[in-house]
Amino acid sequence: MKTKTPLTLFWMRRDLRLDDNVGLFYALKENEHVLPLFIFDTSILSSLKPTDSRISFIFKIISELKIELQKMGSDLLVFFGEPREIFKKILSTENIKNLYFNEDYEPAARHRDSEILKLFKDLKSPVKSYKDHLIFAKDEILTDSRNPYLVFTPYKNKWLKQLQSSQLQEHKTEDFYSSLYKVNSPQKMLELQDLGFVKSAIEVPPPQWEGLQRYDQLRDIPFENGTSLVGPHLRFGTLSIRKMVQLARQKNTTWLSELIWREFFSQVLWHHPRVATESFRVEFERVEWRKDLKEFELWKQGLTGFPIVDAGMRELKNTGHMHNRVRMITANFLTKHLLMPWQWGEKYFAEHLLDFELASNNGNWQWCAGTGCDAAPYFRIFNPILQTRKFDPKMEYIQKWIPEYSTFGYPEPILDLDTARKRALIAFAKVKQQMGSNI
Ligand code: FAD
């Protein structure tokens, strides 16, 4: 039965909050009967393990948002299925005036949204989309000759130059809550089991702000709680990026740079979607990577005999988080000392990181492997022993994650660092020679 009232749908995706939500703000401001909805997308969920911690997190947030909206007399409609099919059904059964959502810049999401757009176009229902997830998106930051940036520092300088306070202004959705559609009999929330998932033992930790003032001094020490842990919150939009940038401007400019790295990698993926599957510098597709499943398994399980690498891999497996410095060390170890494809490591991180974000994960993996734009040069090979001396000198981080360290139970190193380093240099230099280029 069609509702008599023409409804405005607001589709939540990676913006799981009501406050300072750009798309929701305009939906409420410009319409009278706004009904938010969320879809647990089977095409994404089907590739995940039933214990996936990200799904437990999203499920909790969605349940909370539903309650919050129900308290205001409205609802958050929650669906489980394929978005196109769900919208088709809604459009055929309800009286839909229009659809609002915030943009998602990942290649698969762009494809999905273009399909939904067609569906609404056929029915002559307008669709409006907004930038919410980033400060600058798509091609908003370009060189003076209108090309995308490939190097971070000039990108960052342009980003800072273009930033205006108005871009950080809060979108006060609460001023327009009266436009939420009043629902007489609210929909019952699904159970996590209905989606084929069980509650994960790993939870998304709350952000920590204590260390922010000293972020520039603490951020490289994995044992310190010196980073913010906002990663998953920015990924799923439980925090607004505009509020984070405002905070960064007050508290620490080094932290602001990190938020800009996130935007840098997003625009790399936007302009070069091929990086999702291949090296940004295509010549490195020729590297003769080793594909040793046994050694790859030892890396995944944190059993390489290199304590800083193993500690990081165990932190990841146990918490869904790994400190940035250690992400760099473990990624460098996999792609250089073990000479294995960066795509393997990228995929494993994607399965486990609570803050997994295609653009950032891909960009950083390619940075570490030396295959990306503005990447560490291929001959920069982190020595895990020297990295430990510098960033975990008392081995506090290592002992935290490897309780059996300094017992006979801890394995011997699986390789000789010097030999492995030379092997990597030869493999990369071979490509350089083949191409005859200055890479
Ligand atoms: P903070 O240090 O407090 O930084 C604040 C925020 O800035 C982060 O939450 C993140 O949104 C952004 N940020 C910080 N560093 C980077 C960076 N190098 N690149 C892009 N954004 C950054 N970050 C992700 O968000 N998702 C990923 O999937 C991801 N994969 C990575 C894979 C590898 C191999 C490496 C080396 C880094 C990866 N990073 C990724 C970047 C970085 O490690 C994490 O953002 C950071 O550790 C998250 O912790 P935090 O929230 O406490 O960050």
Rounded to a whole number of angstroms, the distance between the first and last alpha carbons of the chain is 64
| Confidence category of residue 437, pLDDT binned at 50, 70, 90 | low
Question: Is the confidence at residue 381, as pLDDT, over 70?
Answer: yes
| Confidence category of residue 438, pLDDT binned at 50, 70, 90 | low
| Strand, coil or helix: 130 | strand
- Cα of 109 to ligand 1 centre, how many Å? 21
* HSE-up (13 A, CA, CB side) for residue 310: 24
* pLDDT tens digits along 164-195: 999 999 999 999 999 999 999 999 999 999 99
Tell me the C-alpha distance between 232 and 130, whole Å. 21
Q: Is the CB of 171 under 6 A from ligand 1?
A: no
- Cα of 360 to ligand 1 centre, how many Å? 7
Residue 369: what pLDDT?
96
Tell me the C-alpha distance between 92 and 221, whole Å. 56
Question: Is the confidence at residue 312, as pLDDT, over 90?
Answer: yes
* pLDDT tens digits along 203-218: 999 999 999 999 999 9
> How buried is 346 (Cβ within 10 angstroms: 0-12 exposed, 13-18 middle, 19+ buried)?
buried
Q: Is the CB of 229 under 6 A from ligand 1?
A: yes
| Confidence category of residue 377, pLDDT binned at 50, 70, 90 | confident
Percent of the chain with pLDDT over 70: 99
Residue 122: what pLDDT?
76
| Confidence category of residue 434, pLDDT binned at 50, 70, 90 | confident
Classify residue 184 by its DSSP letter: S
Question: Is the confidence at residue 439, as pLDDT, over 60?
Answer: no
- Cα of 319 to ligand 1 centre, how many Å? 15
**Average per-residue pLDDT in the chain?**
96
Question: Is the confidence at residue 1, as pLDDT, over 60?
Answer: no
> How buried is 169 (Cβ within 10 angstroms: 0-12 exposed, 13-18 middle, 19+ buried)?
exposed
Instruction: Name residues whose C-beta falls within 8 Å of residue 258's C-beta, 6 or more positions apart in sequence.
Output: 219
Counting from 1 in the atom list of ligand 1, the atom nearest the Cα of 363 is: 19
* pLDDT tens digits along 52-86: 999 999 999 999 999 999 999 999 999 999 999 99
Question: Is the confidence at residue 425, as pLDDT, over 80?
Answer: yes
Residue 3: what pLDDT?
72
* pLDDT tens digits along 407-421: 999 999 999 999 999
- Cα of 229 to ligand 1 centre, how many Å? 9
